[in-house]
Structure 1
Amino acid sequence: MAVMDRAGTGTQQTQQTQARTRTRLAPGKRGAGVGVLLALLATVVWSGSFVATRGMADSVPPVQAVFWRWVIAAVAVSPFAARQAWRQRALIRRHLGYTALATLFGVALYNTLVHQAGLTTSASNMGMIMAASPVVMALYSRVGGERLGARRTFGMLLAALGVLLLVGHGSPVPDFAAGDLWMFAAALSFATYSALLRRKPAELGGLAFLLTTFVLGTLMLAPAYAVSVTLQGGFALTPGTGGMLLYVGVMSSAVAFFAWNKAVSVIGAARAGVVYYLQPVCVAGLGLLLLGERTGPAELGCMALILAGVSLGARR
């Protein structure tokens, strides 16, 4: 009888634990709203990084810029993440293959492609082309079994149309520069990273995962950095380049990646990707504030389409 009682009690505790887990994995409206805000924060910060990346294009070789970006990011996040990473070192070793794959696409490859694109294309084009990545995110989510729904699909298509018209300056046929191909590769890499985030082991802490990817990304880039310094030489550290490296290292890496990873864990890659469509709008706004670039009626109309699509696609 005692054995049966203990078995019943164990079953009840297991059911309660599973119920609490389901509650955490199925956020309500408040949790979804926080997820959307986090995705928006990451999008705005990354929009500024395109301006900084373009500003460094003539003074800092791409691989060197990306290498120091992750060194700075690792230093910035260490005070908050080092203790958790040390406690979970066994988990990190167990899931090292997954973490290395996510690092390759989200840290090493994606950002190198972005900085390479900054050599031959404008910050506005970089932002607009990166807005294509939510389409790939949605396809990954659909293949993974996630139901997109009619409203979210329509919102995604509406936002995609706005991006297409914006890139084509009002024409559905885009007019790309040579460097824009690097950005398409970057968009694919970032979408792959976002899809991988949905498979992050639940027991692995967000900060520990973040610090691990930053350190692994730096190690992956170290050989290419050594080759770049040997062939191209180093760069002069000025207040301008130092400030831009700090921005992309602290804000665009430590802050934005933490916000994006958390957003994807709460609302999923597909819904976070819809918010990411705001990238061209944010870049255009920063271009107006920082570079004095004007936005005409056609661009405003395209941005209205993007905003309408995001509003539809981001709602539950």
Structure 2
Amino acid sequence: MRAAFFLILATLFWAGNFVVGQAAVQSMAPLQLTFWRWTLAALPLLFLAHMVDRPDWRAALRHWRMLLLLSALGMTAYTLLLYSALQHTSALNASLVTSANPVLIMVLAAVLLKDKPRPLGWIGLALGLAGVLLVLTGGQLQRLLTFSLGAGELLILAAITVWALYTVLARRVAVPAVTSTALQAAMAAVALAPVAAVTGAGFPSTQSGAWSLAFIAVFPSLGSYLLWNLALKRTGAANAGNYLNLIAVFTAIITILLGQPITAAQVAGGVLVISGVLLTGAAQRPQRPKSSKPTSSPPSEALPRLRAR
């Protein structure tokens, strides 16, 4: 029960990142939001890693090249693309498309790692793709024939592609979960600092921008990671992964509470995407647990590695 509570809170905070992030990009540039998010979260994450993982920091830093690449992909590129997408599409659309990440990860794993899915996995892939197309086109599939997808939809597709690549690569890093996340966040903050200085990406000048940034830094960036890793000490990775479908559900609930409309295409697409994700997860070959600690970091806003947890 405690693991379920942790997982529900973690996914609720990640859903909040979509909604609050969409509000934040109205007054902050995606680069500004990304830089300050990881700058504010880096030190608490490093402290958390030291307390939870008790890592050998020297041994962890021997993997700096791969950690730097992962930071560039998962912390910088994914976050920039996500917040850029939220300038052009709704938080609900973004969360629904992001829910298809396990399906895309399955495809990349098959291509790059020769990890071929079972037939049930291909059915899940087809359902997930159909759901994403419904969401992207608003139920008007003829838009695909005229290549009339909007900028937001294209950006969120790019974002989940980057995250899928990040996920596949991160499976090979033998660094404890929170430590890996903390080091990647610190690297992102340091790497973005010169760009932020040149572009004048200062701290938010408005009170609403500052509160939005504080929420993103504390809850999705720090709170979700802590809750996720605490849950993984008490439950299996496959069970935890299923809870990530709640991100789109919570985003929909928040959207309704805020008085924003939800279309039939979004509902139907969401059902198809989540069904596809569940089938994809069911198609994974069971693996014997290697240890009580995960060996890689959980996602910022999205979905777990299919076999590493």
Report the Cα distance in structure 2 between the residues aligned to 1:96 and 1:246, rounded to whole angstroms: 28
Partner of 2:177 in structure 1?
Answer: 206
Match status 1:164 vs 2:133: yes
Q: Which amino acid aligns with 1:105?
A: L
From 254, 258, 276, give the equivalent of 1:286: 254
Partner of 1:194 in structure 2?
Answer: 167
From 215, 220, 228, give the equivalent of 2:191: 220
Decide which structure has the larger Cα Rg and report it: 1
Partner of 1:23 in structure 2?
Answer: none
In 2 relative to 1, CA 82–238 (structure 1 residues): closer, same or farther, beyond 3 Å? farther
- Structure 2, unmatched stretches of 5+, are 284-309
| 1:239-278 matches, cutoff 5 A | 239-257=207-225
1:199 shift after superposition: 0.8
Report the Cα distance in structure 1 between the residues aligned to 2:6 and 2:107, rounded to whole angstroms: 22
In 2 relative to 1, CA 78–297 (structure 1 residues): closer, same or farther, beyond 3 Å? same
In 2 relative to 1, CA 236–38 (structure 1 residues): closer, same or farther, beyond 3 Å? closer
1:104 shift after superposition: 0.8
Match status 1:134 vs 2:102: yes
> Deviations along 1:132-186, whole A, 9 cap, x unmatched?
4333311122231334212233123213212221222223345732233222221
In 2 relative to 1, CA 133–160 (structure 1 residues): closer, same or farther, beyond 3 Å? same
Instruction: Indicate the RMSD between aligned Cα atoms, in angstroms.
Output: 3.6
Q: Is the 8 A contact 1:197 1:264 kept in 2?
A: no
Partner of 1:96 in structure 2?
Answer: 64
From 293, 296, 307, give the equivalent of 2:274: 307
Q: Is the 8 A contact 2:49 2:55 kept in 1?
A: no
| 1:11-50 matches, cutoff 5 A | 43-50=11-18
In 2 relative to 1, CA 106–262 (structure 1 residues): closer, same or farther, beyond 3 Å? farther
Report the Cα distance in structure 2 between the residues aligned to 1:146 and 1:275, rounded to whole angstroms: 24
Q: Which amino acid aligns with 1:55?
A: A
Report the Cα distance in structure 2 between the residues aligned to 1:167 and 1:121, rounded to whole angstroms: 10
In 2 relative to 1, CA 303–125 (structure 1 residues): closer, same or farther, beyond 3 Å? closer
1:109 shift after superposition: 1.3
> Deviations along 1:173-205, whole A, 9 cap, x unmatched?
45732233222221111111111221121xx22
In 2 relative to 1, CA 49–113 (structure 1 residues): closer, same or farther, beyond 3 Å? same
Match status 1:179 vs 2:146: no
Match status 1:150 vs 2:119: yes
Report the Cα distance in structure 2 between the residues aligned to 1:152 and 1:38, rounded to whole angstroms: 28
- SS of corresponding position for 1:60: coil
- SS of corresponding position for 1:179: helix
Match status 1:105 vs 2:78: no
Match status 1:55 vs 2:26: no
How many residue pairs match? The answer is: 278
Q: Which amino acid aligns with 1:113?
A: L
Give me the TM-score of the superposition, normalised by structure 1.
0.73
Q: Is the 8 A contact 1:159 1:306 kept in 2?
A: yes
Partner of 2:291 in structure 1?
Answer: none
Q: Is the 8 A contact 2:6 2:227 kept in 1?
A: yes
In 2 relative to 1, CA 161–111 (structure 1 residues): closer, same or farther, beyond 3 Å? same
1:274 shift after superposition: 7.7
Report the Cα distance in structure 1 between the residues aligned to 2:143 and 2:232, rounded to whole angstroms: 30
- Structure 1, unmatched stretches of 5+, are 1-33
1:273 shift after superposition: 7.8
Partner of 2:49 in structure 1?
Answer: 81
1:128 shift after superposition: 3.4
Give me the TM-score of the superposition, normalised by structure 2.
0.74
1:302 shift after superposition: 3.1
In 2 relative to 1, CA 276–83 (structure 1 residues): closer, same or farther, beyond 3 Å? closer
Greater share of helix? 1
Q: Which amino acid aligns with 1:222?
A: A
